[in-house]
Amino acid sequence: MEKTLVIIKPGAIQRALIGEVIKRFEQKGLQVCGIKMLQLTDEILNDHYAHLADKPFFGRIKVAMKAIPVIVCCLAGKDAVEVVHHMAGATNGRKAAFGTIRGDLSMSVQWNIIHTSDTVETAKVELDRFFNPDEVFDYKLPNLEFIYSDEELD
């Protein structure tokens, strides 16, 4: 199964939305393969958000992401990267579709609940950034035949 990264951001943690966010992914049929809380540093954030380093809001992102610890999750499932990214919704919570995590739980661009990997390649890089190999687990869910058809499990 494909794996992807989710970061539950400080705003979601402050609003006691950890369980709600994880619940949505589990109800969809995604599998939690790794989860931990950690305090982000400038070093990690400079690497993680390098593509935004020249933007005027980069400093604000770093301050927000270091406000309190975050929760990083490794989720697995068929087409997990695409599914999770779609479930997150548009970056701006006010513009995100209802039914998405951001569309239902966010009113902000900055405090937009979660980060998700946007491509399979990015997911691999991001998972390596936040997880050691011994922190990600492969195990079989007992109800896979009720989540996927036989052909999807091949």
Query: Tens of pLDDT along 101-131?
Result: 999 999 999 899 999 999 999 999 999 999 9
Is 51 known to be catalytic? no
Query: Tens of pLDDT along 64-93?
Result: 999 999 999 999 999 999 999 999 999 999
Helices (H), 49-134: 58-65, 80-88, 101-105, 120-130
- What pTM does this model have? 0.94
Number of domains within the chain: 1
Task: Name residue, tokens 């982000």.
Answer: 40
State the residue range of the domain holding 97: 2-153
The single-letter code of the amino acid at 145 is E
Which residues touch 92 (CB under 8 Å, ≥6 apart)? 102, 108, 109, 112
Q: Which of 48, 51, 86, 115 is catalytic?
A: 115
Instruction: State the CATH number of the domain containing residue 66.
Output: 3.30.70.141
Query: Tens of pLDDT along 3-46?
Result: 999 999 999 999 999 999 999 999 999 999 999 999 999 999 99
